[in-house]
Every structure is written in C-alpha cells, then in structure tokens.
Amino acid sequence: MEAIVMAVLRKPHTSSYTHACGAPEARRAIAAHHSVSLHHHQQLNPENVIVTNGCSGALELSLASLLDPGTSLLVPNPGFPLYEEIAESHGASVVSYNLDRKRDWECDLDHLEKIMKDHPNKHNIRAMVVNNPSSHGVVFSEVHLLKLLDFCFKHRLPIVSDEVYGDLTFGSHVFHPMASISARHGCRVPVITTSGLSKQFLVPGWRLGWVVFHDNQSGSLRDVEAGAKKLAKLSNGTSHLQQSAIPALLSKSTPGLVNWKHTLRQTLEHQAKTLCSGLESCDSIEMVCQPQGSMYIIVGLDIDRFGSRISNDVDFCHLLVQEENVFVLPGSSFGVPGTFRVAFTACVSTLEEASKRIACFCRRYSASRQQGVLPSKGIAATNPRE
C-alpha cells in the first residue's frame, strides 16, 4: 500500500500508459526475482517477462501462444479447471494425467508414459502443465521435478509451470521453481512460468500476474514468446499504478517483508493443522494428504456410509452448505469425484466451528444410513446456522 501511495506522490508517470508487456521497473523486478536460483550466465532479461491481468491472465497468454485448433495440452488431474477452459476457447483440448493420491499426489509418471504411447497423435500435444505448489496443498520435491523434466525432454514437451502459490509451503517442504531445476538439468527443457501477487501477498483484487519465458539452449520458445508479446498488445497492459508495488514486494531488502512472509506461512500452517485435526475424527471422511503448502486440502469421502440423499460429492457439498452453512467445493470439479476441497484461509475460530459442523453433518447422515432413517430436510430451518 505504501509503495503505491509513494508512486502516486513521487512518480507522476505511473498515471500514464506504459509498455503493453509491463512497466520497465516491474519487469526488471520480476526478472531479478526469478533469477535468484539460476546460475549467473542464465540470468533473465526483463524482455523475457510480460506483466498480466493476474495469474489467470498469464495462463491465458502463455497457452494462447502455444495452442492451435486441434492441438492438445497435458494437464494434471486433480487440477485447475481453468486450464481446460482456456484450451477449449482456442479450439484445443486437454489430456489429463493422473496425480497419485497414494504418493501424496505426485505426478503418475507411468500414466504419463502410457498417454504418450497410446495417444493417436502425440505430436499434437504442445506442452505439459505442472502446478506446484498445487491448488490442493501438495509441494513437489526436487527429485520428482527432475523426473518430470526427464519425461518432458524425452518427449520434446515444454513445461507451463503454474507457480501462483510460490513459497507458501509448510514445515520441511521446500518450493523449487521449475526453471531453477531445469537450469540444473542442463537447460534442455523450455519452461514458461506463470505467477503473481494475488495468493502470495493476499491481494487477489489487484489482478497482477506475470509470465516468464525460460528458453532452452535451442531457442525453442522464441516464436512462442514473440507471439505472446503480440497478444499482450490487445489489452494494452495492466494497471501501471499497481505495477509500481511489484519492485517493493519482490525485494527481500524491503523493510519487514521477510518477517511478514514468514508469519504468513506460519499462520497458514497453523490454520491447516487446526482444520485437519478437527476433520480427522469425522465419520466417513479420509484425510488423503496433509497440507504441504498453498491454501487448500482435498478430503476423501466414504459415500457408501451416507444415506440415499448423498450419492456423490456434489450432493454432500450442496447439503452441507444448506444445512450447516459450510461451503466447500466438490472434488468432481477438479477431476476427483468422491472428495471435496476446502480452503483453510479463514481464522482459527471459524475453522474450528466449520470442522465441528462438518463432523456433526457426517454423524447425522452416517447414523441415518445405519438406522434406515433419512435426516429431516427441514433441519436448517429448525436449527439455523448463522
């Protein structure tokens, strides 16, 4: 907030138009931020950066530059529905690769190889999307990322690395930017990184994101990057004024910033543990994987233990919000039916209350199943939740 105020008072040019790919100061700061873990001779040029309308804008720009009608995109399952929506809006399609819930949602490399073996036109698969930290709370290890790079090098696939949650990781789990691992891998696999301020700095309404092109030794992204810059001119850039905050937010020398980030990670971790401890004893619920990062967790449901009014995860979520005023998303929205996804960004007291209500809801429907009695549809009216 202070950085923007100072820009208004001391830098009148921030009220003017700027380059369609972003203000020079913002692009320099983003390039420096993503160069920290690279070798000196691999430092990014600000020209490799485009500032976008949020991370979703970065995904739109990068995927639009890669995809043509009739082509395909490898996307994770569970994943983020926007990948498919963007691909289909450009006449392309997605091929979902599994994340293995038995291995803390790591990418299923056997399934990936099967896709490349069986796909009728694998040469039309333009790229692989990797979301790390993921939108369901998982952080990939360096070893696993190296295996993904081996796979992509073998099949000549660039990687679109969705890193919007960045270093929001917990405990011993460490965020490894895909581009830094690719550099250690020999810069053989081109990486397009998408990220932004919204999640890591709790300012989703600012709509500030960016895409960074990390090319390989062969210059495989040269035309893709050029195309993305041409597409950026269609929107004529994002808010110049809000971009003025990017250098302050991405510089570790900004007073108080390191401590603020540390406190944020601790707070999210505490909230995650609070929610998980409240849900672990719930009837008919399985904690698939403890949160390792981001802001969410996927929770398994034993649908067979509920009554006839709950035949799937959508029924569960619909009745839960109707009767207990607790809003969670059905896992089928993310490609994993029989689960639900819940955010742990609320305060501790709210999470404690929410877990109690979920536990009460599960007990009520599990008991009704055993007794052959359906819970009253009017329960929300007779016992309102506010």
Task: Give 377's pLDDT tier (boundaries 50, 70, 90).
Answer: very low
Reported confidence tier of residue 367, pLDDT bands at 50, 70, 90? low
> What is the pLDDT, as a whole number, of residue 385?
42
Rounded-to-integer distance, Cα 190 and Cα 213, Å: 8
Q: Full-prediction pTM beyond 0.85?
A: yes
The Cα–Cα gap between 36 and 50 comes to: 18
Mean pLDDT across the chain, nearest whole number? 91
In the chain, pLDDT over 70 holds for what percent of residues? Answer: 93
pLDDT digits (tens, 9 = 90+) for 31-78: 999 987 666 556 889 999 999 999 999 999 999 999 999 999 999 999
* Residue range 316-366, pLDDT digits in tens: 999 999 999 999 999 999 999 999 999 999 999 999 999 999 999 999 888
Assess contact for 285 and 307: CB atoms under 8 A: no
Closest-CA residue to 210 (of 39, 29, 68, 64):
29
CATH C-level class of 2-250: alpha beta
* pLDDT band, residue 290 (cuts 50/70/90): confident
- Confidence class for position 263, pLDDT limits 50, 70, 90: very high
**Cα of 84 vs its chain's centroid, Å:** 14
Residues of the chain with CATH 3.90.1150.10: 257-374
pLDDT of residue 235: 85
* Cα three-residue angle 13-246-65, rounded to 5 degrees: 95
Instruction: Say if CB 269 and CB 171 are below 8 A apart.
Output: yes
What stretches of 245-301 show up as alpha helix (H) in DSSP? Answer: 246-250, 257-279
Write down the pLDDT at residue 86.
Answer: 97
Instruction: Report pLDDT for 138.
Output: 93
**Section 117-145 average pLDDT:** 94
pLDDT digits (tens, 9 = 90+) for 99-111: 998 898 999 999 9
Q: Give ranges for CATH 3.40.640.10 in the chain.
A: 2-250
Structure tokens at 50: 């485009």
Per-residue pLDDT of 166-199, as tens digits, reads 999 998 999 999 999 999 888 999 999 999 999 9
Beta strands at 329-330 and 49-53: parallel, antiparallel or unpaired: unpaired
15 vs 165, more confident: 165
**CA-wise closest residue to 59 among 78, 34, 87, 79:** 87
Q: Is the pLDDT of residue 386 over 60?
A: no
Q: What's the pLDDT at 15?
A: 85
The residue to which tokens 């110049």 are assigned: 240
According to DSSP, residue 133 is labeled S
**Of 107, 101, 160, the residue nearest 129 (C-alpha):** 160
CB within 8 A of 281, min separation 6: which ones? Answer: 359
Q: What is the pLDDT of residue 370?
A: 56
Q: What is the pLDDT of residues 208-234, one digit of tens each?
A: 999 999 999 899 999 999 999 999 999
CATH topology of domain 257-374: Aspartate Aminotransferase, domain 1 (3.90.1150)
Phi, psi of 297 (to 5 degrees): -145, 145
pLDDT tier for residue 6 given thresholds of 50, 70 and 90: confident
